[in-house]
Amino acid sequence: MALTRREFIKVTGLGLAASSLGMLGFGAAGVAQAAAVRPFKLTHATETRNTCTYCSVACGILIYSMGDRAKNARSNIIHIEGDPDHPVNRGTLCPKGTALLDVVHAPTRLKAPRYRPPGGTEFKEVSWDFALDRIAKLMKEDRDKHFIARNAAGTTVNRWTSTGMLAASASSNETAYLTWKVARSLGMVVFDNQARV
Amino acid sequence: MTNTWQDIKNANLVIVMGGNAAEAHPCGFKWVIEAKIENGAKLVVVDPRFTRTASVADYYAPIRPGTDIAFLSGVIRYLLEQDAIQHQYVRAYTNASLVVKEGFAFENGLFSGYNEETHSYDRSSWDYELDEQGFAKSDDSWQHPRCVINLLRQHVSRYTPETVSRICGTPQDKFLHICGLIAATAAPDKAMTSLFALGWTQHSVGSQNIRTMAMIQLLLGNIGVAGGGMNALRGHSNIQGLTDVGLLSNLMPGYLNLPLDKETSLDEYMKTKQYKPLRPGQTSYWQNYRKFVVSLQKAIYGDAATQDNNWAYDWLPKLDVPMYDIIRAFEMMNNGQLTGYICQGFNPLQAFPDRGKIRRGLSKLKFLVTMDPLDTETSRFWQDFGPQNPARSAEIQTEVFQLPTTCFAEENGSLVNSARWLQWHWKAAEAPGEAMSDIWIMSGIFHRLRELYRKEGGAFPDPILNLTWKYTDPVEPDPEELAREMNGRALADLTDPATGAVLTKAGTLLDGFAQLRDDGTTASGCWIFSGSFTEKGNQMARRDATDPREQGIAPNWAWAWPANRRILYNRASADQDGKAWNPAKPIIEWNGSRWEGIDVPDYGPTVKPSDGVGPFIMNAEGMGRLFARDLMADGPFPEHYEPLESPVENVLHPKVRSNPVARVFASDRAAFGTPQHYPYVATTYRLTEHFHFWTKHALINAILQPEEFVEIGEVLAKEKGIEQGGWVKVSSKRGEVVCKAYVTKRIKPLLVDGKPTHVIGVPLHWGFTGQARKGYGANTLTPSVGDANTQTPEFKAFLVNVEKTGAPAA
Ligand code: SF4
DSSP structure string for B620-633: TTSSB-SS-TT-ST
Q: Does B278 reside within a domain? A: no
Report the residue of A51, A55, A61 to disrupt the B interface, i.e. the one with the largest count of B CBs within 10 Å.
A55
pLDDT of residue A69: 62
The answer to whether residues A116 and A151 belong to one domain is: no
B440 lies in which domain range?
Answer: 326-464
How close A38 gets to chain B, by Cα (Å)? 19
The reply to whether B564 falls in a domain is: no
> Which residue in chain A is spatially nearest to B28 when comparing CA positions?
A57
Given B464, B479, B503, the domain boundary residue is B464
Ligand 1 close to Cβ of residue A100 (< 6 A): no
Say if the Cβ atoms of B400 and A163 lie within 8 Å. no
Residue B55 lies in a domain: no
Q: Could you tell me the pTM of the whole model?
A: 0.95
Q: What is the distance in A from the centroid of ligand 1 to the CA of A182? A: 31
Which candidate, A193, A192, A185, places its Cα nearest to that of A143? Answer: A185
Q: Which domain holds residue A128?
A: 110-144
Mark whether A29 and A8 lie in a shared domain.
yes
With a 6 A CB cut-off, is A136 part of the ligand 1 pocket?
A: no
B101's CB contacts (< 8 A; 6+ apart) are B125, B126, B127, B128, B129, B146
For chain B, give the mean pLDDT.
98
Helix (H, G, I), strand (E, B) or coil at B3: coil
User: Looking at residue A9, what is its pLDDT?
Assistant: 43
Ligand 1 geometric centre to CA of A56 (Å):
7
How many domains would you assign to chain A?
Answer: 4
Q: What pLDDT, on a 0 to 100 scale, did the predictor assign at position B310?
A: 97
Residue B552 has pLDDT above 70, yes or no: yes
Q: What is the pLDDT of residue A41?
A: 67
- Please, which residues bridge with residue B481 across strands? none
Distance between CA atoms of residues B342 and A71, nearest Å: 33
Whether residues A52 and A100 share a domain: the answer is yes
CA distance B147 to chain A (A): 35
Instruction: Please count the structural domains in chain B.
Output: 2
Rounded CA gap, A191 and A181, in Å? 12
pLDDT band of residue A173 (cuts 50, 70, 90) is very high
Residue B45 domain-assigned? no
Please give the pLDDT value at position B50.
98
Residue A173 is nearest to which of B5, B245, B258, comparing CB atoms?
Answer: B245
Q: How far is Cα A38 from Cα B514, in angstroms, rounded to an integer?
A: 50
Considering only CB atoms, B27 lies closest to which of A89, A111, A182, namely A89
**What pLDDT score was predicted for residue A67?**
77
Indicate whether A90 and A117 sit together in one domain.
no
What is the crossing angle of helices B355-363 and B326-334, to 10°? 50
Beta-carbon separation of B345 and A181 below 8 A: no
Whether A59 lines ligand 1, by a CB cut-off of 6 Å, is yes
Q: What is the CATH number of the domain that holds B768?
A: 2.40.40.20
Q: Is the ipTM of this complex over 0.95?
A: yes
| B635 Cβ contact list (under 8 Å, min separation 6) | B106, B111, B121, B126, B208, B628
- Identify the three-state secondary structure at position A174: helix
pLDDT of residue A14: 40
Instruction: Verify that A102 and A117 share a domain, yes or no.
Output: no
Atom 2 of ligand 1 has which residue's CA nearest to it? A94
Burial zone of B162 (CB within 10 Å; 0-12 exposed, 13-18 middle, 19+ buried): exposed
Residue A43 pLDDT: 80
Check which CATH number belongs to the domain holding A89 and give it.
2.20.25.90
- pLDDT for the residue numbered A42: 79
Rounded to 5°, the CA angle B540-B541-B542 comes to 95
Tell me, rounded to whole angstroms, the distance of Cα B90 from its chain centroid.
Answer: 25
Instruction: Calculate how close chain B gets to A191, using CA atoms only, in Å.
Output: 5
A16 and A36 in a single domain? The answer is yes
Question: Does the pLDDT value for residue A104 go beyond 50?
Answer: yes
Q: Which residue of B has its CA nearest to A61?
A: B425
Contacts of A5 (CB under 8 A, 6+ apart): A84
pLDDT digit string (tens) for A61-103? 999 999 766 666 678 999 999 999 999 999 999 999 999 999 9
Question: What's the pLDDT score for residue A15?
Answer: 40
Kindly report, residue by residue over B725-735, the tens digit of the pLDDT: 999 999 999 99
Phi, psi values for residue B301, rounded to 5°:
-115, 0
Between A162 and A16, residue with greater pLDDT: A162
Cα–Cα nearest to B739, from B720, B711, B718, B772: B711
Chain B neighbors of A151, CB-CB under 8 A: 261, 320
CATH of the domain at B344: 3.40.50.740
Q: Identify whether residues A153 and A196 lie together within a single domain.
A: yes
Largest CA distance in chain B: 84
> Is B319 inside any structural domain?
no
- Cα–Cα dist B198/B433, whole Å: 36
CA distance A126 to A147: 30
Tens digit of each residue's pLDDT (9 = 90 or more) over A6-43: 444 444 444 443 334 334 444 566 566 666 665 666 78
Q: Is any ligand 1 atom within 6 A of the Cβ of residue A36? A: no
Q: Does residue B163 form part of some domain?
A: no
Mean of pLDDT values over B569-586: 98
pLDDT higher than threshold 60 for residue B443: yes
Cα B557 to Cα A87: distance, rounded to the nearest angstrom? 8
Judge whether B290 and B299 are in contact, CB under 8 Å.
no
Three-class DSSP labels, B279-323? CCCCCCHHHHHHHHHHHHHHHHHHHHCCCCCHHHHHHCCCECCCC
Question: Angle B708-B713-B717 (CA atoms, 0-180°, nearest 5)?
Answer: 85
User: CB-based contacts of B777: which residues, under 8 Å, 6+ apart?
Assistant: B349, B350, B355, B377, B388, B737, B764, B766, B767
Residues A100 and A130 in one domain: no
Task: Write the residue in A82, A136, A167 that is nearest to B344 by C-beta.
Answer: A167
**Chain A interface, mutation test: which of B195, B240, B243, B247, most A Cβ atoms within 10 Å?**
B247
Q: Quick check: is B660 in a domain?
A: no
Helices assigned H by DSSP within B619-676: 666-670
Alpha carbons within 13 angstroms on the beta-carbon side of residue B736 total 13
What pLDDT, on the 0 to 100 scale, is given for residue A44?
83
Residues A65 and A50 reside in one and the same domain: yes
Running DSSP on this structure, what letter comes out for residue B99? B
From the CA of B28, how far away is ligand 1's center (Å)?
8
- Residue B496 is assigned to a structural domain of this protein: no
Q: How far is the C-alpha of B486 from the C-alpha of B481, rounded, in Å?
A: 9
Mean pLDDT of all residues in B575-590: 98
Name the residue among B336, B337, B363 with its Cα closest to residue B349: B363
Q: How many helices (H) and strands (E) does chain A have?
A: 6, 9
Convert B234-253 to b/e letters by CB count within 10 Å (16 or more is b): bbbbbbbbbbbbbbbbbbbb
Cα–Cα distance, B63 to B17 (Å, whole number): 10
A45 Cβ neighbours under 8 A, 6+ residues apart? A64, A65, A66, A78, A79
Question: A30 and A50, same structural domain?
Answer: no
End residue of a domain, out of B438, B464, B490: B464
